[in-house]
A and B are shown apart, each in its own frame.
Chain A
Amino acid sequence: DVKVTQSSRYLVKRTGEKVFLECVQDMDHENMFWYRQDPGLGLRLIYFSYDVKMKEKGDIPEGYSVSREKKERFSLILESASTNQTSMYLCASSSLAGGRNEQFFGPGTRLTVL
């Protein structure tokens, strides 16, 4: 089974801190994604990556950056955390091998910025 793990389930940070959210997948997937989920807004795509060292902006990239130095790892960085970045963050990975469009999600990180 595909496994996507995220470094923390719950995280509390202070305004202005630099925050790193780590995501690791074990199925050699090419594609990785970061979403945030807020009540009433569904999932919104922050950044995605098709390959190592490649990144593409999603719908809401402002205030975030990403890093993909290895194929299995995709990091989301909050350069200077703000209270409006309090949210649930979900990482996902996928592969087009076999032609099926399926993203596998991690359990999520609930980030609170005070």
Chain B
Amino acid sequence: LAKTTQPISMDSYEGQEVNITCSHNNIATNDYITWYQQFPSQGPRFIIQGYKTKVTNEVASLFIPADRKSSTLSLPRVSLSDTAVYYCLVGEPDKLIFGTGTRLQVFP
């Protein structure tokens, strides 16, 4: 199972764009890349998933280069409520490996 590496923490200010990069050098052909968000005292919540190139939804964009060895979650114009832990996961749909995540702190 592919292991992921992402920064432990990041700081930002309201209104800025935040990019969190995840490294997954040994990603397998069948693996998807999925990002989750977790607020304190809650379970993680799905944000976005992709296989290659770019995926965009109402809350985020996911950029995946051609070699798929990394991915970048982009959060446009963050607000205080985006303060959370963000997990990058790589694997087949029926089994995911959560790492320690990136703790994003948004300041006013």
Q: Which residues of A contact B (CB under 8 A)?
A: 4, 31, 35, 40-45, 48, 50, 59, 90, 92, 94, 96, 99-108
Q: How many A-B residue pairs have CB under 8 A?
A: 55
The interface residues of chain B lying within 8 Å CB-to-CB of A4 are: 43
The interface residues of chain A lying within 8 Å CB-to-CB of B29 are: none
Do residues A101 and B98 form an inter-chain contact, with CB atoms below 8 A?
no
Do residues B101 and A101 form an inter-chain contact, with CB atoms below 8 A?
no
Do residues A101 and B99 form an inter-chain contact, with CB atoms below 8 A?
no
Do residues A105 and B43 form an inter-chain contact, with CB atoms below 8 A?
yes
Do residues A108 and B98 form an inter-chain contact, with CB atoms below 8 A?
no
Do residues B42 and A35 form an inter-chain contact, with CB atoms below 8 A?
no
**B79-108 Cβ-contact flags toward A at 8 Å (1 or 0):** 000000001000001111111110000000
Do residues B45 and A96 form an inter-chain contact, with CB atoms below 8 A?
no
Do residues A100 and B49 form an inter-chain contact, with CB atoms below 8 A?
yes
4 tightest A-B CB contacts, nearest first: A105-B43, A43-B98, A101-B93, A42-B100
CA distance in complex: A101, B94 (Å): 7
Q: Which residue of B lies closest to A4 (CB)?
A: B43
The interface residues of chain A lying within 8 Å CB-to-CB of B34 are: 101-102
Interface residues of B in 41-80 (CB under 8 A from A): 41-46, 49
Shortest beta-carbon distance, A49 to chain B, in Å? 10
Shortest beta-carbon distance, A98 to chain B, in Å? 11
CA distance in complex: A101, B35 (Å): 10
CA distance in complex: A41, B101 (Å): 9
Do residues B32 and A101 form an inter-chain contact, with CB atoms below 8 A?
yes
Q: Which residue of A lies closest to B44 (CB)?
A: A105
The interface residues of chain B lying within 8 Å CB-to-CB of A45 are: 95-98
The interface residues of chain B lying within 8 Å CB-to-CB of A104 are: 46
The interface residues of chain B lying within 8 Å CB-to-CB of A31 are: 94
CA distance in complex: A50, B93 (Å): 12
CA distance in complex: A44, B98 (Å): 7
